[in-house]
Structure 1
């Protein structure tokens, strides 16, 4: 539905000033969802941020791409403030605002400082490629994006290059040992195993693996979150152990999220077939499905998965699709290596949209404030959640 531009501008001013009522928010999001109002919206965003970035133009926003890559077209499973269409519209506006914050981020990223409550504070930079490699003899090697080296232990050659580890194939079983790759909070890393399987580790995660795969199976152990692209080998099934749970594959792409501060272990399949086993429970997944293991009952259920949201971290994004604030902030805490402190019970509203993971923490929090009902304060390595 098209509308008088002055009405839309008024609602946008109320929105950016955080004075919108719920009725006005719903009215605004309904206008945003209509392509006929794009010119008014674009003009407002340009005028609002032009004084921050003089001489620069606001880039065009691909509405269809936003809908496709951020919001899955299905109704919310529980009642929220927004219908699906309004969540999608909110995501578009979130990206419009996010574009301006990205510009500001590029301008100020070398300073690493922000102004909060009139005082200059140190901001928190995003995570980066960094990890610790623990070798079989207990020695450790610090890894980061800049390092390029070859690590030799016995018959094993490990090459560090461009933020990833590459293991040379090892045919002989002699001298096989176990290594462990661990990412801290605020870190991520990629590894290519001896069988050419590729693994992306998210922050606060670890992968234990042999320096060569021999015998009837390929077995690794995961803590935290990892995305796997398994090299096919029908004669040697690939198994990922997460505590007592086992994920078995032949050759496939999948993600496992198994953080200790989450209530479930989630295995999501993108390509191929995987089998998830916990005790006597056994589930076979098809592409687009997710096995959810309840950490308390130890039961497994299978559900359709929002695949693009689940692997967004690997592609450098936070993507929210009807997510509550505490779940979002757990992701933020791991990536920025901060602690979350609640001075108030968080709102029950659900968030929809996407934010790049290369922004400083203050920009992410500003975006969450713009689309939600809580506010935040940064104190060192703490984020205080305020009314």
Structure 2
């Protein structure tokens, strides 16, 4: 196994530089005939810049190093690399975990077609901007291009399908909470009355007042949101979520409370997380997990924790269950597992979130032994036969 490590990447490198021998061309043809994904992967290299750097990553066949190098590089804005970073990094993980099987097929020279997807009856588009506003009196308003007309009675609210803005009235009014509800397959941005910007993820709810009290700025979150808090040392900003209080003065942070365990990740500034009689202060690049009895602080993977805000699926050692939860929220799916799917196996990779479901499933199918069937809004996951 050791002497063949990275063998195909060397052949690809020679192919791209026009230096293949006749024998190596035959070996490349065998590999290309194994699956459509291999051909697409080769084409992504041909269209990408900095190919030499990519091939160095593949030669190493080290999933963690490959992941770091590819994702550090895609920050430079090379779209072709970013789009295929899932395929490259995740296929490296697959090769490391299943190299003996891959080597047997390659050395034997037997083209073995890998099934990709079960036949799809239709494709599903990614999430779009949209939300429902529930006013303090119970009135429900779908936020779209017509909502500004509907909101004219509430002269401190302006909203459409892209953003809701809360404007100050200059008058002292009782603190009454409105609710912003973001359903599955949606996301939404809003600006609070103090200038704080909030990006709310799918299947989430944010309760906020039309005007904050004089002593604090308090909102309530169920789900996930990213906050850029306007600085005001005299009026602390507090996010309350499932028994946790995240207190800040002015900072950028993410709160994920989809489950009973709330994860707060700090990008800039400083926050204090309180639960019962415990409290933890975070510095940039740190996170805290809070459960019923504990607050646990650690070093965060900012790209992973903030990936949804950066329009990216970022899977790093994620199980298919974790991935299925994300797909369910983003594409409004009912996910079912069929047969003996290995639920604890981990996958690594990234792909932009503004792609259709079929593109994500194609990548997942390529790096796993899983088959995906889409029927309406139902996604069935099973092991390939």
Bin of the TM-score, shorter chain as denominator length: 0.7 to 0.9
CA-CA distance at 1:289 after TM superposition:
0.2
Q: Which residue of 1 aligns with 2:379?
A: 383
Note if 1:60 corresponds to 2:36: no
| Residue 179 (structure 1) aligns with | 178
Aligned residue runs from structure 1 range 5-24, under 5 A: 5=12, 6=24, 9=28, 12-13=31-32, 16=35
Q: Which runs of 5+ in 1 are unaligned?
A: 19-40, 50-56, 67-80, 100-114
Alpha carbons 2:130, 2:161 under 8 Å: kept: no
Distance in 2 (CA, whole Å) between partners of 1:291 and 1:63 is 38
Q: Per-residue deviation at 1:10?
A: 5.5
Residue 289 of structure 1 pairs with residue 281 of structure 2: no
Matches within 5 A, 1:74-89: 83-87=63-67
Greater share of residues in strand: 1
Report the Cα offset of residue 287 of structure 1: 0.2
What does the per-residue CA deviation read over 1:136-160, in whole Å, with 9 as the maximum and x for residues that have no partner?
111111014x456255476642111
Does 1:357 find its partner at 2:353?
yes
Mean alpha-carbon deviation: is it higher for 174-183 or for 345-354? 345-354
* Residues in 2 aligned to 1:320 and 1:116: alpha-carbon distance in whole angstroms: 20
Aligned mates of 1:381, 1:131 — CA distance in 2: 20
Higher alpha-carbon deviation: 373-382 or 151-160: 151-160
**1:226-269 superposed Cα distances (whole Å, 9 cap, x missing partner):** 0000000000000000021100000000000000xx35210000
Alignment of 1:250-261 (within 5 A): 250-259=249-258
Which residue of the partner structure matches residue 297 of structure 2? 302
**Worse-superposed segment, 4-13 or 132-141:** 4-13
The answer to whether the Cα contact below 8 Å between 1:152 and 1:158 also exists between their aligned partners in 2 is: yes
Q: What's the CA shift for 1:312? A: 1.4
1:96 corresponds in structure 2 to 84
2:131–2:143 CA contact under 8 A, matched in 1: yes
Q: Distance in 1 between matches of 2:357 and 2:41?
A: 26
1:347·1:373 contact (CA, 8 Å) conserved in 2? Answer: no
**How far apart are 1:9 and its partner, in Å?**
2.7
Deviation, 1:174, is 2.2
Shift of 1:188: 0.7
Distance 1:138 1:319, change over 3 A: same
CA-atom RMSD in angstroms: 3.4
* Alpha carbons of structure 1 residues 15 and 236: separation in structure 2 relative to 1, 3 Å: farther
SS of alignment partner, residue 331 of structure 1: helix
1:368 equivalenced with 2:370 (yes/no): no
Task: Give CA deviations for 1:101-160 in whole Å, capped at 9, x if unaligned.
Answer: xxxxxxxxxxxxxx965x66122221111110001111111014x456255476642111
2:339 is the alignment partner of 1:329: no
SS of residue in 1 equivalent to 2:171: coil
Q: Secondary structure at the match of 2:206?
A: strand
2:122 and 2:208 mapped to 1: Cα distance?
39
Distance across 2 between alignment mates of 1:185 and 1:131: 10
| 8 A Cα contact 2:129 2:161, kept in partner | no
Q: d(CA) in 1 for partners of 2:34 and 2:247?
A: 49
Encode CA deviations 1:171-226: one digit per residue, 9 max, x unaligned: 32225421100000111101100001000000000100110112210100000000
Please say if 1:189 is aligned against 2:208: no
* Cα distance change of structure 1 residues 367 and 248 upon mapping to structure 2, 3 Å threshold: same
Aligned residue number for residue 102 of structure 2: none
Paired with 1:276 and 1:319, the residues of 2 have a C-alpha distance of 25
CA–CA separation in structure 2 for the residues paired with 1:65 and 1:173: 60
What's the CA shift string for 1:319-378, capped at 9, x where partnerless?
112222211111110111101111133354322221111111121111111122322111
Q: Tell me the CA shift for residue 170 of structure 1.
A: 3.0
Structure 1 contact 346–374 (Cα < 8 Å) conserved: no
Query: Which whole-Å CA distance do the structure 2 matches of 1:155 and 1:124 have between them?
Result: 36
Could you say which structure has the larger radius of gyration? 2
Distance 1:333 1:187 in 2: 11
Cα distance change on mapping 1:338 and 1:63 into 2, 3 Å? farther
Task: Give the CA deviation at 1:381.
Answer: 1.1
Q: Which structure carries more helix by proportion?
A: 2
Q: What's the offset of the Cα at 1:15?
A: 6.1
Q: 2:310 aligns with which of 293, 312, 315?
A: 315
Alignment coverage as a number of residue pairs: 323
